[in-house]
Every structure is written in C-alpha cells, then in structure tokens.
Chains A and B, each alone.
Chain A
Amino acid sequence: MNLLFDAIAWILDPANWSGAGSIPQRLWEHVSITAVVLVIASAIALPTGALIGHTGRGREPAVRVSGGLRALPTLGVLTLFGIWLGIGLTAPVIALVILAVPPLLAGAYAGFESVDRRTIDAARAVGMRESQIVGKVELPLGLPIVVGGIRSATLQIIATATLAAYIADEGFGRFIFQGLRTRDYAEMLGGSILVIILALVIDGLFAIMQRLVVPAGVRASRTRELRSRPTRSRAVVGQPITEGNQE
C-alpha cells in the first residue's frame, strides 16, 4: 500500500503541476491527440460504415478488414511507424488512426444494419429518397450503436496513446516511461492512475451520451421488449431490399 501512497503523493506534489512536462500539459497532450485521431479516423470510418450498412454491399470485406486490423499488435504498428517517420507526433497519429478505424467501422455498419429492414422498406414505400432514409430513419435509429463504436474506439485511442509515449514525447504515458527509466515507481504508478481516471471519466461521459441518443420512441419500447422481443429477422439484416420482396 505504501507504493500507492507514494503514487498519490506524487500526483498531489505541486512540483508536478507546473512547468514543462507537468500533469496539466500531459493531460492536454493526451486529450488533444485522442481528439485529433478520433476526428480523422471518424472521417474515414463513419461514412464508409454508413454506406456499407445502408447498402449491405462490401460487408464481408469490411468485416474481414476490421477483424484483421484488430489482430494487429498495437505496439508493433507504433514502433514500425516510429522508425519510418522518426520521433514526433506524425508516427503515433497515423498508427493510432489505423488502430481506431476497425471499432468505428464496425460500430457504424452494425448501427445502420441494426435498423429493422421493414421500417426502411416502409420509409421507401411512402416515398423517402435514399438520402432521407439514411438521415431520417437509419441514422437516428442506429445512432446508439454508432456511438457505442465511437466509445470503444476512444478508449482504444486513449490506451494506445499511453503506449505511444514509447515512441513520442506526449501524454500521460511519458510519466510511465520516465519512471521506468529512472526507477521511480511512484511516478509510473501515478501516471498510470491518471490514465485510468481519464479513461474512466471519458467512458462515463460516453455512457451518458449513449443513453441520450436513444430516440424517445425506441426508449418507450424498451420496457415492453423485456416481455416481447421484436421479431426482427437476422436473416434479412444486411440484405437490402433493393428489388422488393418475393413474398
């Protein structure tokens, strides 16, 4: 337990709260690199995922690519980009984007796919354009799952940004590697605690957001769902009704 007290003392030490490499500076770095990576990765993955979920085309390759990317060891990707691009922020940013794309992509297509095909069919039957179906039906109904994907991607970025301090001078991870080199366990543990708090806070914010984006009508049905599950057929999920049904 002494170790834990040392770490807390290290966190509370005013000397660590100002100047170069202080806790606020590292926090800012950690949060801003996470935000930048999230924005870039979202710009790539979310529209792609929405397109796949809406059309049902390219689902198999997307599953395979995002599954395959998940098997990529993060440290391997980081170090590889590290020796290619040298010390600086470019390498970790690129590596982090690559690693954040799979959960975002999976969340986006799963969200769009989760919408009952009959609801979409009905929207088309009353005369909605494809763009209106995407914007007014699929997006609001699939949003909770999409946000779920953003949530896990963000946690992944925060975790990997910690590790990225191995190849770049950024974020809370620096405390861990600094402490490791100087055999200062209090600093290592202190840095770890800060990262854990950051991750849990962000996760909590996303949990709240995920609840808020559930459309009211869907929330209303939740209580009923316990008794009577919707009879959505998994068999038709992912197969768009482009040609009409065949009875």
Chain B
Amino acid sequence: MTWLWSNLDLVGELILVHLALSVPAIILSLVISVPIGWLAHRYRWSRGVLLSLCALLYAIPSLALFVALPPITGLGLRSPVNLVIALTLYGIAVIVRTAADAFDSVQPEVRQSATAMGYSAAGRFWGVELPLAGPVLLSGLRVVVVSTVSLATVGAVIGVQSLGSLFTDGFQRGIQAEIITGIVATILLALALDWLCVLTGRMLMPWSSPRRSRRPALSDVRSIEADPA
C-alpha cells in the first residue's frame, strides 16, 4: 500500500496510457468486424474462409505478433500504433465470429417481414438486423474488452508503456507491491470498461434483458419457442 500511495501519479498516468492503447483497439475491431461478420453471415462461401482466417490469427502468440508486425506495417517495434494494430487484429479475430453468429441469430421471419413492409436493403440492415444482432454482438465485444485490456500489458516487455510497465519494472526491481498494483489496476480497468459496455448496451438496446444477451447461437432463439419443457 505504501508503494501505491507514493506512486499514485505514475499509476494514474499509466492507466491513461493503457486506455489510449486499448480503447482505440476495441473500437476499431468492432467497427471493422461488423461488416466482415455480416459478409460471413450473408455469403456462405465466404464464411469458412473468413472464420478460418480469424481462427489462425487468434492462434498466433501475442508477443510473436508484436515482433512480427513492424516489417509489415513499417512502424517501429516500440511504436504504440504497432501495439494498437496488433490488439485490433486480435479483437477482429474474436468479434467476426460472434458478429456472424449475431446476424445468424436474427430470425428469417423477422427479416422477411421487414422486407415485406418495404425496408430497403440498407434500411433493413440499420433498422432491423443490426439492432437485433446487437445483444449477441455485445457479448462478443465484452470478451474483447477484457482480453484487450489484459493483452495490452504484454507490450511492456518490448518497451511499449502501459500498466504492464508496472510488471516489468516491479520484476526488475523486485517490488512485489508494484506488480500486484498492476494486476489489480488492469483487472479493475477491464471490469470498468466491461461495465461501461453493459450500460451502453442497456441504453441502446432496452428490449434485450441482460440474461438473454449472454448466450449467442441460432438454436437459442428457435428452441425457446419450440420446446414444450
């Protein structure tokens, strides 16, 4: 505790730096993933390819990806942008799959009735499909929020500042309190962002109860009506 009190400024600053790394990555991965996920949902042939690519991407160890990216991006190894790109890629790998599932979860009947009512393709996407896919999308986003905040700390070993710097610094100087502070701060930050997601979700999608948004998948929606039990 004494370590924390005497280093509050440092911790506060690192939290801001950490947010500056993870929040853009989270938002970017969501924005990029939704159209890709929609493609995978809409065109069956693309689904296998896109989802396999995501699975491959996700299989790459983070540290290796951090090191392997600079030759491709032309950025320096210690550039925070390099780290943001890597985190975004991991986010995409997770959300694309959930986004595809999310669009799958919109019942065909609903989509057909929207078309029948006279929605244009674009209008139907924004007015019907996206909002209905929202709860499942949110569940994917929440996974990404937690993993991104945690992964961002890894950048510290190659010299990108974040809450992870508390781990490397604490390890080198043998200060246990510093490492524990880092762990606690990282978890709290993840929980705070997660909570923010839930709150935003509730505001934007008041029709979805928090219980339903937990589990995605098509079978969900159908079986609840179909099963007599």
A residues at B contact (CB < 8 Å): 1, 3-4, 68, 70-80, 82-84, 155, 158-159, 162-163, 166-167, 173, 176-177, 180, 185, 188-189, 191-193, 195-196, 199-200, 203, 229-236, 245
Contact = CB atoms under 8 A, between A and B. Distances in A.
Nearest to A241: B229
Contacts of B146: 70-71
A234 B223 contact: yes
A239 to B, nearest CB: 10
Contact of A72 (B56, B187, B191): B187
A192 B77 CA distance: 13
A180 B150 contact: no
Interface in B143-202: 146-147, 149-150, 153-154, 156-158, 163-164, 166-168, 170-171, 174, 176, 179-180, 182-183, 186-187, 190-191
Nearest to B225: A231
Nearest to B60: A196
A28 to B, nearest CB: 18
A3 B76 CA distance: 12
Contacts of A173: 63
Contacts of B224: 233-235
B189 to A, nearest CB: 9
A73 B167 contact: yes
Nearest to A166: B157
15 contacts: A70-B146, A71-B149, A71-B191, A73-B182, A80-B180, A83-B174, A83-B176, A167-B171, A189-B68, A192-B65, A193-B64, A203-B55, A229-B222, A234-B223, A245-B229
Contact of B61 (A71, A75, A158, A232): A158
A235 B158 contact: no
A88 B149 CA distance: 28
Nearest to A4: B71
A104 B202 CA distance: 31
Contacts of B219: 229-230, 232, 234
A150 to B, nearest CB: 14
Contacts of B168: 75, 79, 166
Nearest to B145: A71
Q: Closest 4 CB pairs between A and B?
A: A159-B61, A233-B227, A192-B64, A79-B171
A87 to B, nearest CB: 11
Nearest to A200: B59
A184 to B, nearest CB: 12
A33 B186 CA distance: 27
Contact of B183 (A72, A180, A203): A72
A107 B22 CA distance: 27
B42 interface: no
Interface in B29-65: 55-56, 58-65
Given A83-B174, A163-B63, A76 B158 contact: no
